[in-house]
Amino acid sequence: MQTRKPYLSQELRLDDIAELLNISRHHASQVINENYGLNFFDYVNAYRVEEAKRLLEGNQENDVQSISEVAYQSGFNNRVSFYNAFKKVTNTTPTEYLQAKIPSINPIFTAKKT
């Protein structure tokens, strides 16, 4: 997951992970459940959220991206899924996370729509 970053694909399925690992779909699911205590979607979304956090923290004032852009670049296929997963993983919204990490962030950044 960390090397190939398949989670960046919005089309990623459990079958794709199983194929990468050369194991059955059932075995891939079992490995994720037993080793991480997560279902496939939560497992993938955790990686996506970490990528989103990296992108959010890496924003410079002259290189502003909307939160929607960050969501899509992180592998999410819509803003609602991104917000729900982000809140589930971090217990905060992307906007709140950004404001806590970068207190001087311009609030316009968080409101920009794509």
The CATH number of whichever domain residue 67 belongs to comes to 1.10.10.60
Residue 25 lies in a domain: yes
> What pLDDT does 62 receive?
42
> What pLDDT does 113 receive?
46
> What pLDDT does 57 receive?
84
Q: Which of 53, 37, 45 is nearest to 98 (CA)?
A: 53
Residue 81 lies in a domain: yes
Residue 2 lies in a domain: no
Low-confidence ranges of the chain (pLDDT < 50): 62, 108, 111-114
Q: How many domains does the chain have?
A: 1
> What pLDDT does 58 receive?
79
Structural domain including 43 reads 12-111
> What pLDDT does 107 receive?
53
Residue 42 lies in a domain: yes
Residue 6 lies in a domain: no
Residue 85 lies in a domain: yes
